[in-house]
Structure 1
Amino acid sequence: MSDAPTPDGRPDDPVTSASAPLVLQYPCGEAPAPGEVREIAPGVLWLRMPLPFALTHINLWAVADEDERGTGWAVFDTGTKTPEAMAAWRQLISPTGPLAATPQGARITRVFCTHMHPDHVGMAGWLTRKFQCRLWMTRLEYLTCRTLVADTGREAPDDAIEFYRRMGWSEDALDVYRSRFGGYSKYVHTLPDSFQRITDGQDLRIGAHEWRVVVGRGHSPEHACFVSDSLGVMISGDQVLPRISSNVSVFPTEPEADPLGDWIESIERLRTTLSDELLVLPAHGDPFRGLHARLDRLAQGHERGLQRLRRTLAESPKRTVEVFGALFARAIDSNGDLLGMATGEGVAHLNYLLARGEAVRQHGADGVYHYRMK
């Protein structure tokens, strides 16, 4: 029951960014053009696809692999279902393309998706059918994707309309939401009807190396990262990005969820269990070193946002649409494209305070929720 979650994040908290410079190392050079590759570790290729969003690109990764049919590439994330992504993939796998020029050949052995957002899973159905290979995902990501695709063609549910009305949306904004509802599958090829489940802590043999699945939560339900200690790399998806903060939102399907609590907990877990020496391969931005510093900055940014939100709610009760100024550096148009994302993040921060007994929520006579500090 969602209006098609997007991969977009937002720039780092300006208050946090102004405190102390964050020094990350970017050792891999210029990004490859769509349809080209760059090797950044033995048997690990960097691919980049264009996106039709404000966030203009996604990084994909191909890892040398083999199975009973021979050698090939295990692909991590896939890009959106767009003509541009299709053209890039066709160039990559063509007889004269960069994947065909490798010892593994232009063959995909399996497709791993970190999570279910369209830029990550959009071409998975096409690739798995073309190469007769398996889709590997965590169960919650796969099933959530199937659920969202099933919303195509439906009218916006009453529960969703009521959710956004309680957050302070105007009738005009609700009309815009109704007109856009069910657009998730626009960018997603039909998923295969079966998949291979991956789980937190699972060890996978991919080609010549062992990889470990590390699940994070908050940005999506059961986001998979992949770590190879022998190669010294981590495919981080959207769980750790170098320059933007991933969107952490509450959606109408689970209005009392606490994804920000999940996100902060995941940051701490990654910080304490993963080596700071890893080369991080993010979905957006460039590969970088400095994992621990980046995780610290992400945690600090959310804490600063929570502190500003606490001060705002201490002044007087506020509707969700009235707390945006405490959380975002730019203005949010009451009927614009960012309203849904801003509302989701706003509710995530408010639910975080509610879940910890710091704030209370009241149902106003106008049918809108009002929040205040205890």
Structure 2
Amino acid sequence: MSSSLHTLHNDNVCQIKVPLPFPLRWVNSYLIRGASGFTLIDPGLHTEAAEQHWVQAMDELGIGFRDIEQIVLTHHHPDHYGLAGFFQERSGAPVLMSEAGHHQVRLLWGDGQPMAAALLRLFSSNGMPEEMLLSMEDHMAGFVPLVSPQPEITPIRIGDPLRLGDHEYETVHTPGHASGHVCFYRAETKVMLCGDHVIPQISPNVSYLPGGIDDNPLGSFLRSLEAIGRYDVAWAYPGHREPFTSFAHRTQELIAHHESRLELMRAMLVEQPLTAYHVCRNTFGHKLTLHQLRFALSETLAHLIYMREAGTIREREQDGLIVYQAR
């Protein structure tokens, strides 16, 4: 039985659309029923609206916080991770995520938030105007309440089977959208819980972040898509939009999208050198919120770095800024 608050799918997977204050509108959380309790996957962003939605959905399903036996995260992004500590406090359940994901949590929202300062320096050297940098700093600090309280993390061992509900799933490492991103696959039913690695209709963001987390995230993403596209998938449960079929076809669509984007960006750099900020604006336009601009510029950098490493463009300094030009 389904309702406006939840949708039951095969493999005992229950989809909960947790509201987001972003254009994406909601994130998909999943409850998987087992004999001894529920596994909760990606609980959502910590907002009052999300709390209320969960209370209503759980009441409708007839379950309480103590019925949740584990909380599993596909990756560290706030819209997936944010409510993990909230649920852990009320359920006592362990929170599982990859070690790489946990490392980024500490960089983003740990003591001193070192990632925020490093990201602002990166944006500055790549042409973002000073007035935008000041606004971006406030914007990034505003995410801390949306991921608090911080949970205690139990590391997921990449490649080891993980029991979700009553069945074991393969843990598939799929870096690119996020370093340490994992998907979960059950061969018996051909079900893939794919987080934000493969999403229908929209392309997952692929961001470059400073600090040596992933020196070529677009390269990682494309390799991960090729690898996961070889799995035999009947139903895929994504982090956004609706569950879908034609999984392998969608992985190829995403690869083609990024190949086209690479060609577009390189063409901009044939005539003259440009900063990443200018390439970003030429690609994504000027009608972006700060939230959208942060991800658009990080994704632009991921594409430029991919081309730099492939040898199709070069990077140099000009007037105190980093610029890129086609070879």
Cα distance change on mapping 1:210 and 1:337 into 2, 3 Å: closer
Match of 2:144 in 1: 185
Match of 1:11 in 2: none
Would the aligned equivalents of 1:176 and 1:335 in 2 still touch at CA under 8 Å?
A: no
- Does residue 361 (structure 1) correspond to residue 315 (structure 2)? The answer is yes
Cα distance change on mapping 1:42 and 1:217 into 2, 3 Å: closer
Cα distance change on mapping 1:336 and 1:124 into 2, 3 Å: closer
Q: After superposition, where does 1:93-104 map in structure 2 within 5 Å?
A: 93-94=58-59, 97-100=60-63
Higher RCO (CA 8 Å, separation ≥ 6 residues): 1
Would the aligned equivalents of 1:324 and 1:332 in 2 still touch at CA under 8 Å?
A: no
- Does residue 320 (structure 1) correspond to residue 276 (structure 2)? The answer is yes
1:75: how far off?
A: 0.8
1:287: how far off?
A: 0.5
Q: Percent identity?
A: 28
Q: Return the match for 2:52 from 47, 63, 87.
A: 87
Cα distance change on mapping 1:38 and 1:166 into 2, 3 Å: same
- Does residue 120 (structure 1) correspond to residue 80 (structure 2)? The answer is yes
1:168: how far off?
A: 1.0
Q: Deviations over 1:114-153 (max 9, x none)?
A: 1111111111111122111111111111221133112578
Q: Considering only aligned residues, what root-mean-square deviation do their CA atoms show, in Å?
A: 2.5
Match of 2:129 in 1: 170
Q: Deviations over 1:10-31 (max 9, x none)?
A: xxxxxxxxxxxxxxxxxx9xx8
SS at match of 1:239: coil
- Does residue 311 (structure 1) correspond to residue 270 (structure 2)? The answer is no
Match of 2:204 in 1: 246
- Does residue 211 (structure 1) correspond to residue 169 (structure 2)? The answer is yes
1:201: how far off?
A: 1.9
Would the aligned equivalents of 1:154 and 1:182 in 2 still touch at CA under 8 Å?
A: no
1:258: how far off?
A: 1.0
Match of 1:278 in 2: 234
Distance in 1 between residues matched to 2:95 and 2:31, nearest whole Å: 14
Q: After superposition, where does 1:128-143 map in structure 2 within 5 Å?
A: 128-143=88-103
1:338: how far off?
A: 2.7
Q: Deviations over 1:35-74 (max 9, x none)?
A: x3222114221111111112100111111124xxxx2111
1:186: how far off?
A: 2.1
- Over alpha carbons, which structure has the higher Rg? 1
1:208: how far off?
A: 3.0
Distance in 2 between residues matched to 1:214 and 1:90, nearest whole Å: 31
SS at match of 2:237: strand
Higher normalized helix content (fraction of residues): 2
Distance in 1 between residues matched to 2:9 and 2:176, nearest whole Å: 29
- Does residue 347 (structure 1) correspond to residue 304 (structure 2)? The answer is no
Q: Return the match for 1:63 from 32, 39, 43.
A: 32
